[in-house]
Amino acid sequence: MPSPDPDAAVSARGLVRTFHIGENDIEVLKGVSLDVRRGETLFLVGPSGAGKTSLLYTLAGLEKPNEGEVFIDGQSLYKLSRREQARVRNASLGYVFQSFFLLPELTALENVMVPALIRNRQGKARARELLERVGLGARTAHLPVELSGGEQQRVAIARALMNDPAILFADEPTGNLDTATGASVMALLMELVNEHKRTLVVVTHDQGLAQIGDRTVTLVDGRIVD
């Protein structure tokens, strides 16, 4: 199997993902190889069912491939122990999801602090600073149910940045938002990524939105076509 690109933040080699549905095996990723350069903003696009989210989750250390390897800064992620994989995810990677995934019983401030608490750190001052940065300095004590969809996604972005990860993964981050709110949230995410030259990989169904990135990769039927 080819070695990872030494200049890549994320490299994938020969990724195969198969799901068992009833008596059938559905191959969602069919030998995908991809390099994402350090500091690059890359958008994954393609029709529904093309394998975009499966590819993102596999690159992000959330779904182990049936075949192939993922390298984060040259390190083979899935050859690590589960404990080491969890450490890499917490320390080096950040995640933003379509459905926000905020803990409903925690305030905005407490939700942002969760990644630090996993590392046995408090981080309250940094969490406040991040909420200020995403325009929610006055909403720190609010529960998710008391926030709009756009505000919840901003909390999720702040949470993703809590441990200062080098690489961010976003799965349809504007999918549950209206057009104007989605554009505002995406502009904020791009601004925060570019400030510190973070690497960003985004899944989106919106071809127009994808044009703001450095590069667009199209998946069709589990394969990259461009």
Range of the structural domain that residue 217 is part of: 8-224
In a domain, 63, yes or no: yes
In a domain, 200, yes or no: yes
What is the per-residue pLDDT for 121?
76
Domain count for the chain, please give it: 1
Write b or e for each residue in 52-83: b if 16 or more Cβ atoms lie within 10 A of its Cβ, otherwise e: bbbbbbbbbbbbebeebbbbbbeeebeeeeee
The order of strands in the sheet holding 167-171 is: 93-97, 167-171, 199-203, 41-45, 215-220, 223-224
What is the per-residue pLDDT for 22?
80
pLDDT (tens place) for every residue of the chain, 226 residues total: 667 777 899 999 999 999 888 888 889 999 999 999 999 999 999 999 899 999 999 999 999 999 999 999 999 999 999 999 999 999 999 999 999 999 999 999 999 999 998 776 778 999 999 999 999 999 999 999 999 999 999 999 999 999 999 999 999 999 889 989 999 999 999 999 999 899 999 999 888 888 999 999 999 999 999 7
In a domain, 193, yes or no: yes
What is the per-residue pLDDT for 15?
97
Contact by Cβ (8 Å): 132, 138: no
CA pair distance 52, 29, nearest whole angstrom: 9
The order of strands in the sheet holding 75-76 is: 24-37, 8-21, 67-72, 75-76
What is the per-residue pLDDT for 117?
86
What is the per-residue pLDDT for 25?
86
In a domain, 3, yes or no: no
In a domain, 205, yes or no: yes
Contact by Cβ (8 Å): 202, 173: yes
Bridge partners, 42 (sequence order): 201, 215
- The CATH number that applies at residue 57 is 3.40.50.300
What is the per-residue pLDDT for 120?
67
What is the per-residue pLDDT for 209?
85
In a domain, 204, yes or no: yes
What is the per-residue pLDDT for 72?
96
In a domain, 72, yes or no: yes
In a domain, 1, yes or no: no
